[in-house]
Amino acid sequence: MAGHGGSRAQDAGDSTWAQELLDHLRPTGRDIRRLVAWLGETVHGTASLHDDAGTLVAGPRIPLDESLVADIRVGRIASAASADGGGHVRLLRVEHPNPAAAGVLAVARPAPFDRRTSDILTHTAQVLELLIRARETTAADRRLKRATSDLRLAILQLLMVEDTVAARRVAAGLWPGLLDTDTACVYVLEGDAAERDRLAEECLGVTGGRALVVRCPAMDGHVILVTAADASGEALRSLVDRNPGTLLGGSAHQSLAQTAAAYGQAVSALAVARVRPDRAAVYPERTHPERLMDPAALRAWTARLLRPLDTLPHHTRAELLATTRLGLEFTAVSAAKVLGVSRNTVRARMERVEALLRTDFTDLAVRATVHLALSTQVSLADGQEGERCDRADARQAGTRLGDLLHGPALEAWARELLGRLDSDARDLRRTLRSWIAAGGNAERAAQALAVHAQTVREHVRSAEPVLERRLLASGSDLYEVVLAHLASGELDPPVLPWDDPGQPDAPVHG
């Protein structure tokens, strides 16, 4: 017995266990399961940890007195001990940031608990409480960041569907003044997808809270920013300078209702940024075809073209218009991710608009024409303003698409734009015209031209830098080039039933 007493005295003075216990608090050692296993081994027994529901969190299951466990869990007692022929058991309450979620630490060993093992058990419970608190704090911080990120995405989605009132209302609670602006720019930062979270945090830092920073739901490597502060552009350029491999594309100033169009401009500018030494570009201010059309005639024509949707409930009409705008600007998959719906939902809504307008979106000329009407509709004060103009001005009410396209200013713009292709000996102009007529399908265009489909793709790709517009991706750039072909007479305007001012208002089954 004296030998055993000497051993216990030596153990009591041994501080090795204390150092080992502290090691579990190091950033690389914070593992609750490993700590519980260490405890069992150090006291020459078995240890386990149970949560507030009695679920085993760490260690093997130990037979316990459930009444004692229940008393500790609810706080009636802080600790308990029991012994029988099989050994000795100690139970300790492990506090949780939520008092109702306290756990129970149980240790069983063949020998009685002496001072050393009691100290180890008590101090281990304290370390467990620290680790649990740190874990819960980290988890809460992660949940807060995720919730904040989701909220930013929700605000962007509201802006994308032109619901600026709701977007401002949501933003005002957390970021007062962020959207207190009539116009803003959209920037898209492109980088390594694995680095996106870090880049997003840097964007928040360099913009000083003056920008809506969103991890793009459609492109894993993109961070989207909406900001009215001119200084944000320079701050983002400095961020690009510090991060090799990143690109920055920016839009022109747009109204908040035109956020979707501004986003398209920023993505388009990324293509230019890829070939620039500073890896940054802003969408150029240039003449857009709709600005060369008679504004009153354009509004009246737009109202008449979209009139089949006017019989729908307001929220349904707004939903269909917003989805179709994005679906024409981007792919159905990307539009779905931006809106937070399924791609089948996007396709179903666009098919419904096709049916209401009695047209076919596989025709590029139709897509460009409807895109023109939808873009014009965004600038109206509400969905009925164009209709009021239509009713008020009988002269404008008779405007057809052909009338809009044949103004001298628009025709001159179209000739200048397409004329840039004439210097290429490959006849890019002919290829591009055939490709558009084939609905953007390289195989069908190749058959019409008696060339290989890859040749068609190469010609279209070669036309992009000449025209300074993206063509192989859907969006405003492509539709402008399509409208140029219609305005120059190189392609015939599409036949749209509701474009005819003499067309009777047939019943709409939406």
Q: How far is residue 137's CA from residue 143's CA, in Å, rounded to a whole number? A: 10
- Judged against a pLDDT cut of 70, whether residue 386 lies above it is answered with no
Q: Strand pairing of 247-250 and 280-282?
A: parallel
- Nearest partner of 93 among 141, 131, 128, judged by Cα: 128
Q: What is the dihedral of CA 317, 318, 322, 327, to 10 degrees?
A: -20
Percentage of the chain modeled with pLDDT above 70: 91
Instruction: Spell out the residues 6+ positions from residue 59 whose beta carbon is closer than 8 angstroms to its own.
Output: 33, 36, 37, 40, 46, 47, 48, 49
- Judged against a pLDDT cut of 70, whether residue 505 lies above it is answered with no
- Nearest partner of 177 among 203, 210, 150, judged by Cα: 210
Average pLDDT of the chain to the nearest whole number: 85
- Burial grade of 20 (CB within 10 A; 0-12, 13-18, 19 or more): middle
pLDDT of 3 reads 46
List, in sequence order, every beta strand (DSSP E) within 95-135. Answer: 103-109
Sign, Cα dihedral of 197, 201, 206, 210: positive
Q: 453-465, pLDDT tens digit by residue?
A: 999 999 999 999 8
* pLDDT class of 12 with cuts at 50, 70, 90: very low
Which is more confident, 446 or 15?
446
Contact yes or no for 187/280 (Cβ under 8 A): no
Q: What are phi and psi of 227, to 5 degrees?
A: -150, 145
Give the predicted TM-score (pTM) of the model: 0.67
Mean pLDDT over 235-239 rounds to 91
- Judged against a pLDDT cut of 80, whether residue 220 lies above it is answered with yes
Which tokens in the block code for residue 170?
Answer: 């949501």
- Judged against a pLDDT cut of 80, whether residue 14 lies above it is answered with no
pLDDT of 273 reads 87
Mean pLDDT over 147-160 rounds to 89
Which tokens in the block code for residue 144?
Answer: 């807060």
Q: 75-98, pLDDT tens digit by residue?
A: 888 888 888 777 898 888 888 887
- Judged against a pLDDT cut of 90, whether residue 433 lies above it is answered with yes
Q: How far is residue 223's CA from residue 211's CA, in Å, rounded to a whole number? A: 12
pLDDT of 383 reads 40
Mean pLDDT over 56-75 rounds to 84
- Judged against a pLDDT cut of 60, whether residue 447 lies above it is answered with yes
pLDDT of 59 reads 87
Q: Look up residue 270 and give its amino acid.
A: L
Match 């400095």 to its residue by tokens.
238
Range with the poorest average pLDDT among 187-191, 214-218, 397-401, 418-422 = 397-401
State the Rg of the chain over Cα.
Answer: 34
- Judged against a pLDDT cut of 60, whether residue 395 lies above it is answered with no
Which is more confident, 295 or 18?
295
- Judged against a pLDDT cut of 90, whether residue 397 lies above it is answered with no
Contact yes or no for 293/407 (Cβ under 8 A): yes
Percentage of the chain modeled with pLDDT above 90: 33
Neighbour tally for 448: CB within 10 Å: 13
Q: 406-427, pLDDT tens digit by residue?
A: 888 999 999 999 999 998 889 9
The length of the chain in residues reads 510
- Judged against a pLDDT cut of 70, whether residue 387 lies above it is answered with no
